[in-house]
Amino acid sequence: MKVLGIYGSIGFDGSEKESYIHDSGATLFVDGEHICSIQEERLSGLKYDGRYPEKSIDYVLENIEKEEINLVIFVDIGLQSWVTDHLLKGKPNEFLQKVFPNADIGFISHHQAHAYSSIFSQESNEGVCIVLDGGGSYNWTPEYSLGMQKASLVYFDKRKNKFRYFDFNGEWGLLYQTWSHHIFSKKINKKIDYDDPRYHCSVNGKIMGLAAYGSGKHLTKLYQFGNYFPQVQFDMRDPDPYPLSLEDKAQLLQYNFEESLIELIERFDEDYLEPVVCLTGGVFLNINANTKIVQKFKNRKFHITPFVSDCGLSYGAAAFGSSLWNDVKVPSNLSCLGKSYVTPKQIKTDHEPIETILKRVAKYLEDGKIVAWYQGRSEFGPRALGSRSILMSPKYKENKDILNSKVKHREDWRPFAGVILEECLNDYFEEGIVNPYMLYSQTVKEDKRDKIPAITHVDNTCRIQTVSGGLLSKLLWEYYSISGVPVLLNTSFNDNGKPIVETPEDAIDSFLNMNIDYLVMNESIIGK
């Protein structure tokens, strides 16, 4: 059974130029086994691309004809709402039936796809899933009019393929996005379209980084709960409801965001939540909030995928469709669901034993060089997790400034993440949370802060990825042996405003146009 999951905008011809959604993509399952997932932006070059994912579909169907697809599940962004007239401009089922003539066509809601992406990416058969995001499904009902969207609590039993939904008012992500207007206002960058959802995707991470610079003098509660929805206690139309510094505004927003999530979970009775709790939706890209949740509710097991944002919707659609016929097999590595590539033949370089390459790269990093790391299957989700990464030594404080100003071209206060050997995690970080998908921030131990200053944020935290086994782990061991530090700075292999690189051609082009010293592609080292 070949099942294709699709998320994206559909016009009359399936290639609408403008889209009010973001992070479209496609996923293929065959007989219950995941084959491939990709975001359209990685192939189109347009960050947060929300158009019909034609390139993504061709990508995941590399060796399969469209006529062979048995079932297509399309993530509905509002077939029963004003979106039908203003966005879709046609009937998606008719369009899809022409493209996939032998397939059954099905539709699921935005929140259902979010839930299934989390439920079918973990091993537990029973549990509960909380879905929170910014926009989501649109509804045309008296209580949910003109785009007001529902947050969801979903009980699941995978063995019986049964799901129970409980919807409640909630737009946590939209609240966060709206508040961000008061911080990164039009006065800062008049070239930005602040009504474009792609802007909100880019700005949310900035809030987390900037919040750490706040004074801590204005941490007051600014919301009240109404039917599980945190309602702000100021006029959203006020361009500057709290005349504070940008840093204090960001801190105030982040504090209230975290506290409202904690309060939401607390409002669910102990008997209402299962021991296994899946958290999904773009809200849970906020690693600081994730950290506060797992620290607060230590008696629960939380599952968060590296693709909690809308990019994961195609995975949820395909996984659910596949579950109707087969047991869904959870991929062994959720971070890397794309393709692997061979080094182009035109790259003239000596191929060396991988052990030699690792030793050379470790020495480059210790010498302060910037290394682009291109290995294995590409990541699925917004973060580079060791397949399409830029690596640098964390030992030198100036490396943060070098990367921000000369490589990534972004604000100088933006922090960088790190990657650490799992075996050394407790030596460097207080929380000791094993975290292969970079979903949490952790506090750097006091006696280690001067050893990794390039990734230690102003509040002494770092969003850290743990690795154990694999090629990146071997590189870390080599670096550890010559530097005494089992940690590397890890950021995504892309320039500001561009998607993470996907193909070898993308990688080579970015390498040549960025201030990077070496590109390590498979078993080749390319220098300038």
Whether 76 shows a pLDDT value over 80: the answer reads no
Surface-to-core class of residue 500, CB atoms within 10 Å of its CB (0-12 exposed, 13-18 middle, 19+ buried): buried
pLDDT score, position 184: 62
d(CA 371, CA 378): 17
Higher per-residue pLDDT: 332 or 81: 332
d(CA 210, CA 322): 42
In angstroms, the Cα distances linking 214 to 77, 129, 189, 217, 251 are 37, 33, 22, 8, 5
pLDDT score, position 242: 73
Q: Where along the chain do its domains lie?
A: 2-121+306-323, 172-303, 354-527
Q: What percent of the chain has pLDDT over 70?
A: 80
Q: Which two tokens stand for residue 33?
A: 């086994």
Please give the mean pLDDT across all residues of the chain.
85
Q: Which two tokens stand for residue 442?
A: 């952790």
Three-class SS state of 363: helix
Laid out side by side, the sheet with 461-467 consists of 441-443, 461-467, 417-421, 487-492, 388-392, 371-374, 518-521, 524-527
Whether 523 shows a pLDDT value over 60: the answer reads yes
pLDDT score, position 344: 86
Average pLDDT over residues 357-365: 97
* Residue 64: CB atoms within 10 Å: 14
Q: pLDDT tens for residues 43-60? A: 999 998 888 899 999 999
Which of 115, 184, 186, 189 has the alpha carbon at shortest distance from 153?
Answer: 115
Q: What is the CATH number of domain 2-121+306-323?
A: 3.30.420.40
Higher per-residue pLDDT: 39 or 186: 39
Q: Same topology for domains 2-121+306-323 and 354-527, yes or no?
A: no
* Domain 172-303 belongs in CATH node 3.30.420.40: yes
CB 67 within 8 A of CB 368: no
Q: What percent of the chain has pLDDT over 90?
A: 61
Whether 362 shows a pLDDT value over 90: the answer reads yes
Whether 268 shows a pLDDT value over 70: the answer reads yes
Average pLDDT over residues 87-96: 64
Q: To which H or E segment does residue 262 belong?
A: helix 246-267
Average pLDDT over residues 373-399: 96
Whether 465 shows a pLDDT value over 70: the answer reads yes
pLDDT score, position 239: 57
d(CA 74, CA 58): 16
Q: pLDDT tens for residues 146-194? A: 333 467 889 999 988 899 888 776 656 666 666 666 566 544 444 444 4
Whether 489 shows a pLDDT value over 70: the answer reads yes
Architecture, CATH, for domain 354-527: Alpha-Beta Complex (3.90)
Question: Is the C-alpha dihedral spanning 234, 194, 211, 387 positive or negative?
Answer: positive
pLDDT band at residue 209, thresholds of 50, 70 and 90? confident
pLDDT score, position 250: 87
Q: pLDDT tens for residues 105-137? A: 988 888 899 999 999 999 999 999 999 887 555
Q: Angle CA(184)–CA(246)–CA(243) in degrees, nearest 5? A: 105
pLDDT score, position 170: 61
pLDDT band at residue 226, thresholds of 50, 70 and 90? low
pLDDT score, position 361: 97
Q: pLDDT tens for residues 409-461? A: 988 889 999 999 999 999 999 999 999 999 999 999 999 999 999 999 999 99
d(CA 139, CA 124): 31
Q: pLDDT tens for residues 273-318? A: 787 899 999 889 999 999 999 999 988 899 999 999 999 999 999 9
* Cβ-count burial 75-107 (b if 16+ within 10 Å, e if not): bbbbbebebbeebbeeebeebbeebbeebebbb
d(CA 132, CA 302): 15
Least confident segment among 142-156, 182-196, 348-362, 377-391: 182-196
The phi and psi torsions of 375 (rounded to 5 degrees) equal: -145, 140
